[in-house]
Amino acid sequence: MSKPEFVYVIYIGAPKQKIWTAITTGEHTKTFWKRYVKSDWKVGSRVEFMYPDDQAKLSHDGEVLEIDPPNRLVMTFDLKPEGIDEAPSRVTYELEEHELGTKFTVIHEGFPPDSKVLPGISNGWPRILSSMKSYIESGKLG
């Protein structure tokens, strides 16, 4: 197993189920991620990330590899729809109960040595997760 190239941990003052709902429901992801997520969330299913103002336009996609709601989700991450011709990487979400609410860990791995995706996600994930934390903790996810 290769060493993860990107790991981000954030603590969110909310139960795991609330965070799970936020990351798997397009009505929520469009607010903090600026992408509308669609999937039936089964192993082998496609995951699509669409632009919220044009849900016919695909930003990126992937495939569900593992799913254990509301604890763990593993999926591929493919930016070919954005014109980045790089093999899909792998994203793992881990949610653990914590005294502060939930410890949410994102592990993004499987990049080639000259990856064009890694620099982008290294800036993107902190912005997305910070926005998600604010969205959930502000009570906008009801």
* 49: nearest Cα among 23, 68, 74, 72: 23
* Domain annotation for the chain: domains and CATH numbers: 6-77 (3.30.530.20)
* DSSP 8-state symbol, 139: T
pLDDT score recorded for residue 3: 59
d(CA 136, CA 83): 32
pLDDT in the model for residue 2: 54
- pLDDT, position 55: 82
The pLDDT assigned to 4 comes to 58
pTM score: 0.92
Question: What string of DSSP letters covers 71-111?
Answer: TEEEEEEB-GGGT-----EEEEEEEEEETTEEEEEEEEE--
10-residue mean pLDDT series, the chain (142 residues): 79 97 97 96 98 90 98 97 93 96 97 92 95 92 62
